[in-house]
Amino acid sequence: MKLEGRVVERKEIPEMDIEAMFSLMNTFYDNMSRDVFRKDLADKDYCLILKNEQQEIVGFTTQKILSFELDGQPVHGVFSGDTIIHRDYWGSLEMYVVFARFFFELGKSYDRLYWFLISKGYKTYRMLPVFFRTFYPSYRMETPLLEKRVMDAYASSLYPDDYNPGTGVIEYGSVKDKLKDGVADITAKELRHPDIDYFVRANPDYKDGNDLVCLALLREDQLQPGARRLLFGEG
């Protein structure tokens, strides 16, 4: 089942597509609010939209360009907000290919461009070790001080009332959207994988919709060799 993805500016998304995006989220998430969804989308700069051969929206991820100062130095990053792929298309790489080719190219405009990512499900977290040599947090190593401060700064700016720098988790104080039961549940089989086991230990209340704050550098030399072939067709 072939998918086609493209990155569009948020202001260019047609009304019917916005409704289709909300409907897709509502299919797989509990506690969805149309007003909250639209408010969140309005705050973004870009949206990567996946369509199938019938031109139906079957996945998307929203993106915001963030910039702030840390110790007098500028820090730039791409923050990924609402993200979903219909379960019929799990395994497709189209979203990752389109994301990488657009935002890695954009990253060349900056000295360093980070990927600011929050994860309430293990599938989102699991793609970090699949694609990146180095990312945080990880069971492989302690998060360096600089990267920890970057993570604290962006998470605190986005979620000042809910982010816990001690745990590195956004611990929502109010009802939050969360994956429905039966969607990407973690079984004993998944827990045997060290990355998934780490995700559960780092974000034990993920079932309540809490998000683990993550960070990766969007630069090709940070990619796993196999990931460069998959994303850019390079050896």
At 152 the pLDDT is 97
Residues of the chain with pLDDT under 50: 235
Q: Which domains does the chain have, with CATH numbers?
A: 4-232 (3.40.630.30)
At 233 the pLDDT is 81
Q: What percent of the chain has pLDDT over 90?
A: 71
Please state, as a whole number, how many other Cβ atoms lie within 10 Å of the Cβ of residue 54. Answer: 6
What are 115-172's pLDDT values in tens digits? 999 998 888 899 999 999 999 999 999 999 999 999 999 999 999 999 999 999 999 8
At 183 the pLDDT is 58
What are 137-148's pLDDT values in tens digits? 999 999 999 999
